[in-house]
Copies of this chain bind each other. A is one copy, B any other.
């Protein structure tokens, strides 16, 4: 093994696409699969191949889906909802679904506006979103974009769009995270928590 077998070297290199996987852990992963779990490794290979080519986007809400409509957009109960939550990614949508607190519809941007990177409204499906608002079935749009510069800019753009269609807009509350300790909270968050204070 003065030189690793090419297939092994290629596997180690390919594992680097995974977030948080550097050269050392890619090597450890490759050896461990080859030594102890070739069946699991082959299964992962097949799952990756199938997922990368077989998962598309829901034609209505843009989230990941294997068919034209995702499971939420094909659920009649949820499609009757007049509340729509806008999120930046399918992972954010999953996080909100997992709270079990929201029973409305979604629109998944799959990114944020970023003019410098050439990401405009069309790339986020916002024409499609406007067409949805034009149908006048949505009463409230909840903006659940990230509390980052890009997330805020995108939220602002969408809020204006909603106002054009006479649709009310809300956004997720900003404040102290549950379990957070005051002294470790950043100043901006603390300022938001203070200005958004509620009667006890």
The reply to whether B1 and A17 contact each other, CB–CB distance below 8 Å, is: no
The reply to whether A6 and B66 contact each other, CB–CB distance below 8 Å, is: yes
The reply to whether A17 and B43 contact each other, CB–CB distance below 8 Å, is: yes
> How many residues from A make CB contacts under 8 Å with B?
62
Interface centre among A37, A64, A75, A97, by most B CB within 10 Å?
Answer: A64
Known A-B contacts A31-B89, A91-B31, A94-B4; the reply to A51 vs B17 at CB < 8 A is no
The reply to whether A55 and B7 contact each other, CB–CB distance below 8 Å, is: yes
A2-16, CB under 8 A of B: which get 1 and which 0? 111111101101110
Stretch at the interface among A18-26, A131-139, A148-156, A185-193: A18-26
- Point out the residues of chain B lying under 8 angstroms from A5, CB to CB: 55, 64-66, 70-71
Judge whether A42 is part of the interface by a CB distance below 8 angstroms: yes
A-side interface mostly: helix
The reply to whether B7 and A93 contact each other, CB–CB distance below 8 Å, is: no
Known A-B contacts A2-B97, A17-B37, A29-B19; the reply to A7 vs B54 at CB < 8 A is yes
Q: Which of A144-162 contact B (CB under 8 A)?
A: none
Judge whether A84 is part of the interface by a CB distance below 8 angstroms: no
- Point out the residues of chain B lying under 8 angstroms from A37, CB to CB: 17
